[in-house]
Amino acid sequence: MPAACDSLLEDIEDIVSAQDVKPHDRKFVRKNVVPKVRKRNSQKNVQEDDDPPSDSIIPGVQKIWIRTWGCSHNNSDGEYMAGQLAAYGYKITENAAEADLWLLNSCTVKNPAEDHFRNSIKKAQENDKKVVLAGCVPQAQPRQDYLKGLSIIGVQQIDRVVEVVEETIKGHSVRLLGQKKDNGKRLGGARLDLPKIRKNPLIEIISINTGCLNACTYCKTKHARGDLASYPIEELVDRAKQSFQEGVCEIWLTSEDTGAYGRDIGTDLPTLLWKLVEVIPEGAMLRLGMTNPPYILEHLEEMAKILNHSRVYAFLHIPVQSASDSILMDMKREYCVADFKRVVDFLKEKVPGITIATDIICGFPGETDEDFQDTMKLVEEYKFPSLFINQFYPRPGTPAAKIHQVPALVKKQRTKDLSQLFHSYNPYDHKVGERQRVLVTEESFDSQFYVAHNRFYEQVLVPKDPDFMGTMVEVDIYEAGKHFMKGQPVSDAGVFTPSITRPLAKGEVSGLTEKFRYVLENGLRLKACPSAGIREKASSSSTAMHLPWQQRGGRLKMISVSLLLLAVLLTFYYGGV
């Protein structure tokens, strides 16, 4: 049984030394080996237990708690890691206290998110939990003091999460932070056909690319995600098809900048979107992710046509960050306020009713009162229904952190002033009395309503009728708030179900091949299978294969299968038992 190791390993394979005696060599060195027979325990009453004994370090049977912070791209990564771990037999739990290992998937955009991440690490250590770190924080700054001695899995290495978790449970510290490349060209990341557990079985999050083409002076995410790397169109379309076959009725496209998609592989975002629209079932919907102004300017005509499509939400997230050209220049945003206005004005004209969401940073270094008032005027002019207001936080290692900072009290006051302006208008009051068709996909935070979205991705709360979940429903709007409307289902209207099959149950693993399912159901050893996302790997003491155990098999079943495998190995290595 391997002992804990203080030294860091660059890769799993480093655990096995090149000088170690191989099983094949051992066979010929020791020709006459007679295995000893261990006496059976004479206990009469052996209690079966679904969980392994407390001192067991058999990989694949532990409970794992996963916490994700940040954007939808990060959430998608978390879903993929959960799916792979569950597929190999680990139990994903929502109870942090009962978990054997915490997988913490971090966000590096703002200081508070990293503070929560750091505090969670400390809490895990105080509670003697094994810890694996993921996401943008350790990828961008793996040598920070509070990360020392902990296992890390990089943002492009999430397809190896099982290996990292397995070795961490054994007491090793493993770090995989490399980039995926093909013939020297950087790839988008892990494969899209890996098993995953969707947080919401009705919503599939697809990362169409990773990284970006910008070099914003305040951004730490660039240090983690790197330059633009796009997935091929055919892979993205295949992932969408698979999702619909598993009961998904809404797809979110995400990345650090969806508008830049394809520039590194000779294609563009509109080309991808038209291909995706072809495979979306009637009644299901597609939501576009964030795009920066420079890259959508080239495709305004095509984007307007796509956003008018019946299976695409008329919604677009376009961050402006500031309405001062001098601040935008200091941020290196590569556009001016006029560019942003041109995009918004064109889409509002060509896509009537479109929802434009935007972001604003308050208190960027060098921002004057005049600069901030320009931003206030922009919000007054457009009255954005969805506005993400962020107080500036200097992130370590970014150029903006080295510029003379706006005083903290000034930043706080500007954030407060902008928030008050945003809450001074109600964007949905004029929609009371309308009849809308909405897609129901989730439950409200207070569990009092189901949450649906209309054609413009505006939130509509509807009664909690189980028949509505995952369906299109016609409602009459009878109330409006700042962030939502309330709708009463029309009594004589039919309920339309867009999904082409029954959705997966909550917590069920998506994307399992028939071979993968057979192994999990029978508790057998699996050969390396690239199509199932399974590989041969080295353990800490031999070249044994990874053995996925069936979680519900119980302790006795594990012991029986272990003895059977031992007999097979002895036969192979020593010529017979």
pLDDT at position 182: 73
Tokens of 517: 């399912």
Which of 561 and 303 is assigned the larger pLDDT?
Answer: 303
Residue 549: pLDDT above 50? no
Q: What is the mean predicted confidence (pLDDT) over 475-494? A: 93
Do the beta carbons of residue 509 and residue 83 sit within 8 Å?
Answer: yes
**In angstroms, rounded to a whole number, what is the distance separating the alpha carbons of residues 262 and 514?**
33
pLDDT at position 419: 98
CB atoms within 10 A of CB 536: 12
pLDDT at position 11: 44
pLDDT at position 313: 98
**In angstroms, rounded to a whole number, what is the distance separating the alpha carbons of residues 509 and 193?**
12
Dihedral of CA 189/194/200/205: which sign? positive
pLDDT at position 515: 56
Read off the pLDDT of residues 124-176 as tens digits, 9 standing for 90 and up. Answer: 999 999 999 999 999 988 889 999 999 999 998 999 999 999 999 999 999 98
Read off the pLDDT of residues 79-108 as tens digits, 9 standing for 90 and up. Answer: 999 999 999 999 999 999 999 999 999 998
Tokens of 419: 């928030």
**In angstroms, rounded to a whole number, what is the distance separating the alpha carbons of residues 244 and 251?**
9
User: Would you give the DSSP letter of residue 101?
Assistant: E
pLDDT at position 260: 95
pLDDT class of 539 with cuts at 50, 70, 90: very low
pLDDT at position 557: 44
pLDDT at position 10: 45
Closest CA to 258 of 216, 220, 207, 301: 207
With H, G, I as helix, E, B as strand and everything else as coil, classify residue 413: helix
With H, G, I as helix, E, B as strand and everything else as coil, classify residue 37: coil
pLDDT at position 118: 93
User: Would you give the DSSP letter of residue 546?
Assistant: P
CB-based burial label for 448 (10 Å; 0-12, 13-18, 19+): exposed
Residue 574: pLDDT above 60? no
Dihedral of CA 563/569/574/575: which sign? positive
Residue 553: pLDDT above 80? no
Residue 13: pLDDT above 70? no
pLDDT class of 382 with cuts at 50, 70, 90: very high
Do the beta carbons of residue 277 and residue 286 sit within 8 Å?
Answer: yes
pLDDT at position 70: 87
pTM for this prediction: 0.78
Closest CA to 428 of 467, 458, 393, 472: 458
Residue 25: pLDDT above 60? no
pLDDT class of 532 with cuts at 50, 70, 90: very low
Do the beta carbons of residue 303 and residue 347 sit within 8 Å?
Answer: yes
Residue written as token pair 């959705």: 503
pLDDT at position 222: 86
One-letter amino acid at 379 equals V
Which of 121 and 524 is assigned the larger pLDDT?
Answer: 121
Residue 117: pLDDT above 90? yes
pLDDT at position 130: 95
Q: What percent of the chain has pLDDT over 90?
A: 65
CB atoms within 10 A of CB 287: 19
**In angstroms, rounded to a whole number, what is the distance separating the alpha carbons of residues 347 and 141?**
39
Which of 73 and 555 is assigned the larger pLDDT?
Answer: 73
pLDDT class of 517 with cuts at 50, 70, 90: low
Residue 423: pLDDT above 80? yes
Read off the pLDDT of residues 165-223 as tens digits, 9 standing for 90 and up. Answer: 999 999 999 998 887 777 767 776 788 999 999 999 999 999 999 999 889 999 988 88
pLDDT at position 287: 98
**In angstroms, rounded to a whole number, what is the distance separating the alpha carbons of residues 14 and 26?**
21
Do the beta carbons of residue 193 and residue 511 sit within 8 Å?
Answer: yes
Residue 474: pLDDT above 60? yes
Q: What percent of the chain has pLDDT over 70?
A: 77
Residue 573: pLDDT above 80? no
Helix H, strand E, coil C: the string for 209-278 is EECECCCCCCCCHHHHHCECEECCHHHHHHHHHHHHHCCCCEEEEECCCHHHCCCCCCCCHHHHHHHHHC
Q: What is the mean predicted confidence (pLDDT) over 311-321? A: 97
Residue 9: pLDDT above 70? no
Dihedrals φ, ψ of 240, to 5°?
A: -65, -45
Tokens of 488: 């009463």
Residue 577: pLDDT above 70? no
Interacting residues of 65 by C-beta distance below 8 A, sequence separation 6+: 92, 93, 94, 95, 96, 99, 101, 102, 103
Mark 359-373 as b/e (b = at least 16 C-beta within 10 Å).
bbbbbbbbbeeebbe
pLDDT at position 529: 39
pLDDT at position 293: 94
Q: What is the mean predicted confidence (pLDDT) over 51-56? A: 50
Residue 561: pLDDT above 50? no
Interacting residues of 105 by C-beta distance below 8 A, sequence separation 6+: 66, 67, 68, 69, 70, 74, 77, 78, 81, 134, 135
pLDDT class of 575 with cuts at 50, 70, 90: low
Which of 93-102, 174-183, 236-245, 358-367 is the least confident region? 174-183
Closest CA to 105 of 129, 128, 72: 72
Tell me the C-alpha to C-alpha distance, in Å, between residue 240 and each of 244, 248, 270, 306: 6, 9, 16, 17
Mark 97-131 as b/e (b = at least 16 C-beta within 10 Å).
eebbbbbbbbbbbbeebbeebbebbeebeeeebbb
pLDDT class of 572 with cuts at 50, 70, 90: low
Helix H, strand E, coil C: the string for 495-521 is CECCCCCCCCCCCCCECCCHHHHHHHH
